[in-house]
Amino acid sequence: MAIEVRIPTILRTYTGGEKAVSADGANLSALIDDLEANHVGIKDRLIDNGDLRRFVNVYINDEDVRFIGGLEAELKDGDAVVILPAVAGGAR
Amino acid sequence: MLTIDQATYDAIVAHAKRDHPDEACGIVAGPEGSDRPERLVEMINAAGSPTFYEFDSTDLFQLYKEMDERDEEPVVVYHSHTATEAYPSRTDIGLASEPNAHYVLVSTREHGNNEGPVEFRSYRIVDGEVTEEPVTVVASL
């Protein structure tokens, strides 16, 4: 099983500069654990207190995972995962 | 240094004035590695707030997909501050996630929606470090 995961610029320090890596997992949580096994440190940039970080967006086949089960969102062979940090900020 | 053309500069300022008192936000995309801000993309501030901005997650996805297809990257990421100076806040610094981008801040605190000068400043934000840089406005890139 292989799932392509697109890595944003800011996290490419964990993937040796690679824009996309291959990973496995039956759901997003398992996929992130598999990413961590090969790219140590990346999990902490995605997960905080057992949940997806507020300002990290993950998409499975163009859908924001927050609308399809979050970390429990299911994955299958050939799915495409995209990680994008939120573009956000403000005077507050 | 940020080099930007007059039309793009004016469009960013107009966007900030139009959305005042809410924060306006967007990007200027350019060919990867070129450092040329060529294509302005105004984004909707999903937070609709005078003190916060955030791209809608679906809009964000579409934007990056489009840039990817065109071999572009965000050369400029801009937003406005509507009651404070055009300097990155702690939130801006903490959430900055494009180490290659010029972060442009426009402050509309003086004239709001009306005609008049604005502060237009540019920064690099890398690993929590803010470095201001000069802005050069040219007739065309």
Sequence-ordered list of residues with C-beta below 8 angstroms from that of A74, at least 6 positions apart, any chain? A26, A27
Tell me what the mean pLDDT of segment B119-134 comes to: 97
Which DSSP helix (H) or strand (E) runs through B41? Answer: strand B39-43
Q: Is the pLDDT of residue A33 over 80?
A: yes
A83 contacts in chain B (CB < 8 Å): none
CB contact under 8 A, A91 and B89: yes
| Cβ pairs A/B, distance under 8 A | 84
Q: What is the pLDDT of residue A91?
A: 87
Confidence grade of residue A11 (pLDDT, cut at 50, 70, 90): very high
**Residue A49 touches partner B, C-beta closer than 8 Å:** no
Amino acid, single-letter form, for residue A64: D
| Residue B26 distance to chain A (closest CA, Å) | 9
Q: Residue B12 sits in a domain of what CATH number?
A: 3.40.140.10
**Residue B95 touches partner A, C-beta closer than 8 Å:** yes
Q: Is the pLDDT of residue B117 over 90?
A: yes
**Residue A17 touches partner B, C-beta closer than 8 Å:** no
Pairing state between β A63-64 and B102-107: unpaired
B117: containing domain: 2-138
Amino acid, single-letter form, for residue B119: E
Tell me the per-residue pLDDT of B89-106, one tens digit each, with 9 for 90 and over: 999 999 999 999 999 999
Into how many domains does chain B fold? 1
Interface list for B 35-64 with A (CB within 8 A)? 43, 47, 49-55, 57-58, 60-61, 64
Tell me what the mean pLDDT of segment B107-123 comes to: 96
Which DSSP helix (H) or strand (E) runs through A30? Answer: helix A28-38
CB contact under 8 A, B95 and A82: no
The rounded mean pLDDT for chain B is 97
B82 contacts in chain A (CB < 8 Å): 91
Q: What is the pLDDT of residue A92?
A: 75
What is the architecture, at CATH level 2, of domain A3-85? Roll (3.10)
Q: What is the pLDDT of residue B129?
A: 97
Sequence-ordered list of residues with C-beta below 8 angstroms from that of B65, at least 6 positions apart, any chain? A62
Tell me the per-residue pLDDT of B51-66, one tens digit each, with 9 for 90 and over: 999 999 999 999 999 9
Q: Could you say which of B55, B92, B99 has the minimum Cβ distance to residue A9?
A: B99
How many whole angstroms separate alpha carbon B1 and alpha carbon A88?
23
Amino acid, single-letter form, for residue B11: A
B65 contacts in chain A (CB < 8 Å): 62
Tell me what the mean pLDDT of segment B16-41 comes to: 98
| Residue A58 distance to chain B (closest CA, Å) | 9
**Residue A87 touches partner B, C-beta closer than 8 Å:** yes
In 3D space, the residue among B31, B45, B38 whose CA is nearest the CA of residue B11 turns out to be B38
For chain A, the structural domain boundaries read: 3-85
CB contact under 8 A, B61 and A62: yes
How many whole angstroms separate alpha carbon B125 and alpha carbon B132?
9
Q: What is the pLDDT of residue A1?
A: 64
Tell me the per-residue pLDDT of A45-73, one tens digit each, with 9 for 90 and over: 999 999 999 999 999 999 999 999 999 99
How many whole angstroms separate alpha carbon B95 and alpha carbon B8?
24
